Amino acid sequence: MPLDSSTYALALLRLDGRRWNELRRMHAQISTQAAADGSSYLEMGNTKVICTVAGPSEGRRGGGGQGGGGAEAKIEVEIGVAGFSGVERKRRGRGDKRTSELQHTLATAFASTLLLHLYPHSTIAITIHVLSQDGSLLAACLNAATLALIDAGVPMSDYICACTAGSTSSAGAGDTGADNEDPLLDLNGLEEQELPFLTVGTLGASEKVVVLMMETRVQAHKVESMLAVAVDGCGQVRKILDGVGWLVKAQRHLATDNVHLVPDAIEPPGSAEAVVSVQSRELEPQVPARARSTGSQSDELRTLL
């Protein structure tokens, strides 16, 4: 039986049972598409996205500014939103304004982190398929693209971790004091419809903000607390991505050894670290069947003699 919403309010919990500073359950996988150079699957709550990376590959020649014809590689981002991903069944075309903004934001963000000068006259294509939307869509796309780029082996200065934060106030209409603010971390779809929120992406453990997008109006004195909560949430997301990124490195460096890597489920909040178990087994020396038969025949000859 679900818990009554009034009980959530008394316990200072949100509608999904989380506290104000807790992430939703986050699950991530890598190398999900064998045909792609890099791929990933990411779930942030009920928001689910698939990302594939192709390249760096030789850019297309010709006019129109297409392809990597300059001294640095060109990043091409394409986002496809499934018609069944939202509450209303709606199919978005290629010229959708919202989708174009997301594509431009991702291309600009990764252009500042990837070492594009190492691949002149080339193209890096990032394709994202949105399967389900329940808030934090931009953050999920950034995190999924980061894992896919790591899987593809594209060099970068550090990787981007993204998260959302919102703000609600229990004060009256005339009270603008900061003491009554209630910042929230990792908003879901219902919270994004009712509350002002922003999306923040930080670069590595330095807490350097490389992505900051706010699409709603908010009072100026609330921005600082929202930004602080979002940066802290990016640190929690980084711990999760660290576990998945460690798995990629281990698979590459230990490919020649007899080590089997089995990623377990990642379940924040509580522990914001990816649980990765490493199971190794030693190969027992095996005697070829022909050698065993030869040995048995020699024993029989000795018995007869």
Task: Report d(CA 168, CA 182) in Å as an integer.
Answer: 5
The two tokens of residue 215 are: 């699409």
Confidence of residue 12 (pLDDT cuts 50, 70, 90): confident
- Set out the domains of the chain in order of their start, with CATH numbers: 5-304 (3.30.230.70)
Confidence of residue 256 (pLDDT cuts 50, 70, 90): very low
Q: What is the pLDDT of residue 181?
A: 65
Q: Are 75 and 116 in contact (CB under 8 A)?
A: yes
* Mean pLDDT along residues 249-268: 48
Average pLDDT, the chain: 77
* Mean pLDDT along residues 30-57: 93
Higher pLDDT, 52 or 177: 52
User: Model pTM?
Assistant: 0.75
Identify the burial level of 301 via C-beta atoms within 10 angstroms of its C-beta, where 0-12 means exposed, 13-18 middle and 19 or more buried. exposed
For 16, other C-beta atoms within 10 Å of its C-beta total 15
* Mean pLDDT along residues 170-181: 48
Whether the upstream peptide bond of residue 155 has omega within 30° of 0, thus cis, is no
With both helix axes pointing from N to C terminus, report the angle between 137-152 and 220-253 in degrees, rounded to the nearest 10: 30
Tens digit of pLDDT for each residue in 93-121? 666 788 999 999 999 999 999 999 999 99
* Mean pLDDT along residues 200-227: 89
Q: What is the pLDDT of residue 74?
A: 94
* Mean pLDDT along residues 45-58: 93
Highest mean pLDDT among 41-55, 209-223, 250-264, 267-281: 41-55
Confidence of residue 265 (pLDDT cuts 50, 70, 90): very low
Higher pLDDT, 275 or 174: 174
**Residue 235 clears pLDDT 50, i.e. is over it:** yes
The two tokens of residue 180 are: 């009554």
Higher pLDDT, 66 or 158: 158
Q: What is the pLDDT of residue 47?
A: 95
Identify the burial level of 263 via C-beta atoms within 10 angstroms of its C-beta, where 0-12 means exposed, 13-18 middle and 19 or more buried. middle
Q: What is the pLDDT of residue 155?
A: 93
End-to-end CA distance of the chain: 83
CA 159 to chain centre: 10
Q: What is the pLDDT of residue 246?
A: 66
Length of the chain: 305
Q: What is the pLDDT of residue 247?
A: 61
